[in-house]
Structure 1
């Protein structure tokens, strides 16, 4: 039986720092697009490019990031990334206050910030299993997912209020301080940041291939990667046009945009809080396709919204999507962390993110281009339908016949497969439960 994470000091420190950082990040995610739309009069294409550059590093950096992170101390990487992001966001605040802010500067800051985000997130997912036990990972990821949603509603709400009082220029500086404080909080974690495993000979290409091989020769992960990529592609089309849609189509003020965007995160809070219980009740495999198909249809309310009653429909639609993502992500991320050997966690995480996050700038850019060509509302209809249809990738797969994912089941009585798959170089073959066949379990 797992111990309570509420009494786990290191996790609570990690969780608290992450919460503060996410609040500041949400302020930035609100303020920078508002700055582009209201001050620089950005077009749909320019807003789409801004959203895409914020994620473009996932395309060219995800795979090498996994190798680099596995070679370094994870906490050190996370601290450095926070400090760099603090400096980047500070330049936006100074530029907006001085009056020389441009779209080129916003695109540049977004691009460099995306590099830090890739390195930080890869290190964070690899660092968490060294803080908590494997039987605590589902609970830990559920709490972190809830934190993201709570932080978003707090950040959007605070951001909207600060914009009304201070203006967008001064409000942009709040995010920089949050990053600095989170960097400091990471230094308070007592648990040892284990040094990387040193091999006799470094082979970048082989190390890179080990992560890809583990993911794509695994009997379950490729299905999850395909569905996650589809979710991210279409959801980013929605996110890229969100501020533009709320301001110009639904005719909301800057402060109301913050309120509405904050309320949409209530679904993520509910999903994060319920994710552990629902996964155990419905089944850790079954919940992965039940959540998208059961909640994904609510996203169709977003393009159906009209001025007047529209903000309520938009809020419900986006909240429904947030709930399904929270439930889905908690189950999928926990499964990946449990079955992957510790020395491959960085490369496994990077290999998955290369695909599922690599499509995000494509989705954001497609949203901007289609919004300019077809119009914002028709583009949102395409995106909303795509989010719901992504769940079909999971429904028409072996997951539909399972209650639980392989490492959670009592195979073969539970009807789970016992398929093994080739191991990375220098390791014993690994079964879906992460146990070495004919050897010892990776520590």
Structure 2
């Protein structure tokens, strides 16, 4: 029986990363609620403008997402994270400043969310790429469970707080608070110590950068498991964003509900993420790593359609329950799917693999925002919500129809170049999906369940 991995909580650098990420996610979720509310309520933004605002917030992943992975693979990871959070703090601080000077405009909000998205590209890619270095590959599942639980908790606290702060003291002071939280995160990240302290002295040429980006794309799309994970996650984000971008308009203008109620509804999604993260290790231990990913999608698909039932009065609560179930499935995916793709990727490709996923996943958010806004303007807000719900319900199919469904345990870590031939146990999961003992997977993913508690990412 293999030895259970040690808890990542014993590692000082992981605790520092977790604390800083908690602040960063809190700031992101406060801004997620308050910026579109500010645009809709104070600047009279319509469905198309709300969609454009949401699209610009994620467009950076389409513009620089792929080369960002190659850059992160060369740069000192801690400095990347610190610079990203400091930039986000400064950008958000400009919104309440312009408001108090009575010169805030929609074009400024567009520019802030676009540049804030550029900083988020580097933060997200850098944080996922540095995790295997900080905790070791044998601790990835409990470490990811803790971080997904953190993300869920930040969704609950940040989106709920954002909605109530916007209702209590208007959106600009709440956005100023989000800026301060980002700054605190940047200061906390300076305490992380990593082994990669400096970037390579030779700066690669443009042609070399293009080749590195292509290498990351070939790794993701040439590996059947990674390709299926990427397609399912992309469809999930596309559908969820088409729903989310219409919710501020639906709640405030059609249902006549308060900003606090919108924040509460979004916080229910954070509760679902938390529930999914807590259940992920147990599901993998009972069903197998890949089967848990596949069956969670099948079981939760009807809830994706139920999200479109959102309405005033009694209909709000069945829709909220369906939203909780749909996001719980996302929480399971984020723990097990992210761990699987990290285990399938060599260290030298982690930044580019993560950037490719972020390009696809967050690019889907940008497309979903624009598509939701277009549908809301042309055929109505309700039709846009239903279109997103249908996409969300069917997103599980690529993983369900792939070799991931037969994967009982996490595959062995990739053997670095020059490390010698693989041992008899180090075989490709795609080649022999059912060859590993179920007990191996069970022992691995169930280790340290209690210590590990804590949208596709």
Residues 1:319 and 2:324 aligned together: yes
Could you say which residue in structure 2 is the equivalent of 1:309?
314
Shift of 1:199: 7.0
Task: Output one character per residue of 1:116-152: Cα deviation in whole Å (capped at 9) or x when no partner.
Answer: 1111111111111111011111111111111111011
Provide Cα deviations, 1:77-128, integer angstroms capped at 9, x if missing partner: 1100111111110011112233322111111111111111111111111111
Retained in 2: the 8 A contact 1:249–1:307?
A: no
- Offset from partner CA, 1:152-182 (integer Å, 9 cap, x none): 1111222233223322121110111111110
The alignment status of 1:90 with 2:93, answered yes or no, reads yes
Gaps (5+ residues) in structure 2? Answer: 414-422, 434-457
Task: Please say if 1:243 is aligned against 2:248.
Answer: yes
How far the C-alpha of 1:246 sits from its partner, in A, is 1.8
Would you say 1:223 and 2:228 are equivalent positions? yes
2:225–2:402 CA contact under 8 A, matched in 1: no
CA–CA distance in 2 between the matches of 1:134 and 1:303? 39
Is residue 399 of structure 1 aligned with residue 404 of structure 2? yes
Q: How does 1:115-194 map to 2 (within 5 A)?
A: 115-194=118-197
Shift of 1:415: 11
Report the Cα distance in structure 2 between the residues aligned to 1:14 and 1:164, rounded to whole angstroms: 32
Matched, 1:106 2:109: yes
Query: Which residue of the other structure, out of 339, 344, 350, is the alignment partner of 1:345?
Result: 350
1:279 to 281, 284, 295: 284
Q: Work out the CA distance in 2 between the residues paired with 1:322 and 1:269.
A: 9
Partner of residue 34, structure 1: 37
Contact 2:291/2:404 (<8 A) preserved? yes
RMSD, aligned CA: 2.4
Aligned to 1:367: 372
Change beyond 3 A, Cα 1:237–1:196: same
Tell me: CA distance 1:411–1:314, structure 2 relative to 1, closer, same or farther (3 Å).
farther
TM-score normalised over the length of structure 1: 0.89
Q: What's the TM-score once normalised by structure 2's chain length?
A: 0.86
1:13 to 12, 16, 26: 16
Aligned partners of 1:42 and 1:393: how far apart in 2?
36
- Aligned length, in residue pairs: 419
CA–CA separation in structure 2 for the residues paired with 1:397 and 1:263? 31
Q: 1:418 aligns with which of 425, 431, 450?
A: 431
Q: Which moved more, 1:410-419 or 1:336-345?
A: 410-419
Residue 271 and residue 283 in structure 1: after superposition, are their counterparts in 2 closer, same or farther (change >3 A)? Answer: same
Moved more, 226-235 or 352-361: 352-361
Using the alignment, how far apart are the partners of 1:176 and 1:415 within structure 2? 45
Measured after TM superposition, the shift of residue 189 of structure 1 is 1.8
Mean Cα deviation higher: 93-102 or 133-142: 93-102
The whole-number CA distance in structure 1 between the counterparts of 2:372 and 2:280 is 30
2:313 partner SS: coil
Q: Give the secondary-structure state (helix, strand or coil) at the position aligned to 2:58.
A: coil
**C-alpha distance in 1 between matches for 2:400 and 2:37:** 38
What is the rounded CA distance, in whole Å, between the counterparts of 1:411 and 1:241 in structure 2?
Answer: 53
**215-224 or 186-195: which moved more?**
186-195
Measure how far apart 1:65 and its partner are: 0.5
SS in 1 for 2:192: coil
SS state at 2:193 partner: coil
Cα distance in 2 for residues equivalent to 1:419 and 1:74: 35
